[in-house]
């Protein structure tokens, strides 16, 4: 019993660590996840690693690649379109239910989440062509706060998983173009519609917001930038980690030793 409990604890800790690395962009879309290397770096058994990776595969954050093994789920335009389509459906239902059930405490929490989001720069202070990870995190917090009072734990879990899957695209691809004012304006309009108890307007604004974010990212999938990732001396090509693709020298490996990563990027041709 004690040994099984220790195994479950190790599995949960590694699962959480790997999931955080994927959602924050430390592990890149398409990057190979070598079981033996992860086990060695984290001081756990191969079985613990496999169990954690299988759990991540169940949440569609990791996929099994033939003749390679486990890898971070890759990015594709078809998958992004499907993600946004499902988010519009499920978040529309959840938001309607939340507006119908929400109380003053829920409204206060939502106002606080919006206040933090609106006071957070969209781009990094010292790198204006890169998305600010804190803004992305607070954007997700605001989105989930809207759905919190939907009254269905299962529906809320679906919404959360779809939002996490989309966050990988946002961190890797969302370009920092001249839409900052528009994004903040839409968040304010959405909050106002929710607070006045207008579910139709709220759902319409939310759907438009999701579609706009999708349309900002699609060009980078349809004409993807070249990014080289070296894992175990094997070069792989994946999407960039965050922000607008740009010419840059190879960057240093991430501080956490789950994988050794170097990458270079080339800006895609401008769309007509």
Q: pLDDT confidence of 252, banded at 50, 70, 90?
A: very low
Across the chain, what does the average pLDDT equal? Answer: 78
Backbone angles phi, psi at 128, to 5 degrees: -65, -10
- What CATH number is given to the structural domain containing 85? 1.20.120.530
Q: How far apart are CA 88 and CA 242, in angstroms?
A: 24
Given a cut of 70, whether residue 209 has pLDDT beyond it is yes
Say whether both 159 and 240 belong to one domain: no
Q: Residue 227: what pLDDT?
A: 43
Given a cut of 60, whether residue 181 has pLDDT beyond it is no
The pTM assigned to this predicted structure is 0.70
272 within some domain: no
The size of the chain, in residues, is 272
Say whether both 96 and 209 belong to one domain: yes
Q: How far apart are CA 155 and CA 19, in angstroms?
A: 21
Cα 155 to Cα 45, 57, 261: the distances in Å are: 35, 20, 36
What is the mean pLDDT of the segment spanning 124-141? 81
Q: pLDDT confidence of 126, banded at 50, 70, 90?
A: confident
Given a cut of 80, whether residue 158 has pLDDT beyond it is yes
Say whether both 155 and 170 belong to one domain: yes
Residues 190 and 205: beta-carbon distance below 8 Å: yes
End-to-end CA, the chain: 63
Q: pLDDT confidence of 103, banded at 50, 70, 90?
A: very high
What is the mean pLDDT of the segment spanning 108-128? 88
Say whether both 249 and 179 belong to one domain: no
What is the mean pLDDT of the segment spanning 138-152? 93
Per-residue pLDDT of 50-86, as tens digits, reads 999 999 998 888 998 888 889 998 889 999 999 999 9
Say whether both 106 and 125 belong to one domain: yes
Say whether both 87 and 207 belong to one domain: yes
Say whether both 177 and 255 belong to one domain: no
Given a cut of 50, whether residue 97 has pLDDT beyond it is yes
Q: Residue 272: what pLDDT?
A: 37
Total domains, the chain: 2
The range of the structural domain enclosing residue 83 comes to: 77-220
Given a cut of 70, whether residue 1 has pLDDT beyond it is no
Per-residue pLDDT of 220-235, as tens digits, reads 887 644 444 444 555 4
Say whether both 104 and 207 belong to one domain: yes
33 beta partners: 70
Q: In what order do the strands lie in the sheet with 226-231?
A: 234-237, 226-231, 265-266
Say whether both 42 and 96 belong to one domain: no
- What CATH number is given to the structural domain containing 9? 1.10.10.10
Say whether both 177 and 102 belong to one domain: yes
For 198-221, b/e burial (b = at least 16 CB within 10 A) is ebeebbebbbebbeebbebbbbbb
Q: Residue 21: what pLDDT?
A: 86
Say whether both 89 and 129 belong to one domain: yes
Say whether both 88 and 196 belong to one domain: yes
Given a cut of 70, whether residue 267 has pLDDT beyond it is no
């Amino acid at each position: 019993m004690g040994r099984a409990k220790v195994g479950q604890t190790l599995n949960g800790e590694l699962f959480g660590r790997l999931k955080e690395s994927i959602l924050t962009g430390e592990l890149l879309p398409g990057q190979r996840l070598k079981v033996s290397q992860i086990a060695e770096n984290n001081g756990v058994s191969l079985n613990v690693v496999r169990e954690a990776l299988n759990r991540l595969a169940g949440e569609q954050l990791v996929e099994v690649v033939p003749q390679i093994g486990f890898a971070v789920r890759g990015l594709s335009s078809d998958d992004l379109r499907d993600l946004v389509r499902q988010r519009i459906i499920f978040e529309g239902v959840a938001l309607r239910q939340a507006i119908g059930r929400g109380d003053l405490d829920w409204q206060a929490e939502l106002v606080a989440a919006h206040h933090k989001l609106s006071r957070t720069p969209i781009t990094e202070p010292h790198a204006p062509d890169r998305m600010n990870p804190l803004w992305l995190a607070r954007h997700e917090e605001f989105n989930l706060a809207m759905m919190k009072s939907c009254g269905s734990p299962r529906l809320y879990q679906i919404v959360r998983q779809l939002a996490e899957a989309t966050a990988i695209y946002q961190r890797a691809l969302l370009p920092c173009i001249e839409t900052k004012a528009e994004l903040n304006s839409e968040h304010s309009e959405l909050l106002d519609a929710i607070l006045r108890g207008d579910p139709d307007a709220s759902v319409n604004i939310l759907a438009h917001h999701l579609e706009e974010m999708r349309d900002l990212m699609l060009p980078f999938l349809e004409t993807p930038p070249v990014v080289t990732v070296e894992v175990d001396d094997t070069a792989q090509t994946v999407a960039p980690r965050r922000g607008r693709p740009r010419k840059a020298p190879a960057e240093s490996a991430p501080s956490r030793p789950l994988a050794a990563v170097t990458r270079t990027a080339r800006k895609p041709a401008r769309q007509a």
